[in-house]
Amino acid sequence: MKKTVEIIGVPLDLGANQRGSNMGPTAMRIAGLHSKIKGLGYEVHDDGDLFVPVRETLPETCAQEKYRNNIKEICENLAEKTFQSMESERTPITLGGDHTLAIGSISGISRHLKKQGQELGVIWFDAHADMNTPDSSNSGNIHGMPLATFLGRGHEELVNIGYEGPKITPDHVVLIGIRDLDGEEQRICKKSGVRYYTMREIDERGMLQVMKEAISIVGSTTSGIHVSFDLDGVDPLHAPGVSTPVDGGLTYREAHLALELIAESGKLISMDFVELNPMNDKGHMSAKFFVDLVQSTLGKSII
The active-site residue out of 232, 235, 254, 292 is 232
CATH number, domain of 106, equals 3.40.800.10
Q: What is the mean pLDDT of residues 278-302?
A: 96
Instruction: Let me know: does 111 contact 162? Beta carbons within 8 Å.
Output: yes
pTM: 0.97
Instruction: Let me know: does 295 contact 258? Beta carbons within 8 Å.
Output: no
Residue 143 is among the residues annotated as catalytic for this protein: yes
pLDDT in tens, 161-199: 999 999 999 999 999 999 999 889 999 999 999 999 999
The active-site residue out of 6, 49, 76, 99 is 99
Q: What is the pLDDT of residue 171?
A: 97
pLDDT in tens, 138-155: 899 999 999 999 999 999
Q: What is the pLDDT of residue 302?
A: 81
Q: 194-201 — which CB contacts under 8 Å span 24+ positions?
A: 194/131, 194/147, 194/151, 194/170, 195/171, 196/129, 199/248, 199/249, 199/250
Asked whether residue 233 is domain-assigned, the answer is yes
Asked whether residue 221 is domain-assigned, the answer is yes
Host domain of residue 110: 4-297
Q: Which whole-number Å values give the CA distances from 9 to 26, 215, 274, in the listed order?
A: 8, 27, 10
Residue 126 is among the residues annotated as catalytic for this protein: yes
Q: What is the pLDDT of residue 182?
A: 84
Going by pLDDT thresholds of 50, 70 and 90, the confidence category of residue 1 is low
Q: What is the pLDDT of residue 156?
A: 97
How many domains does one find in the chain?
Answer: 1
Asked whether residue 168 is domain-assigned, the answer is yes
**Residue 266, preceding bond cis, omega within 30 degrees?**
no
Asked whether residue 99 is domain-assigned, the answer is yes
How does the average pLDDT of the chain come out, rounded?
A: 96
Q: What is the pLDDT of residue 183?
A: 84
Asked whether residue 54 is domain-assigned, the answer is yes
Asked whether residue 128 is domain-assigned, the answer is yes
Q: What is the mean pLDDT of residues 235-246?
A: 97
Asked whether residue 75 is domain-assigned, the answer is yes
Asked whether residue 94 is domain-assigned, the answer is yes
Asked if residue 288 has pLDDT above 90, the reply is yes
Residue 272 is among the residues annotated as catalytic for this protein: no
The active-site residue out of 6, 49, 98, 130 is 130
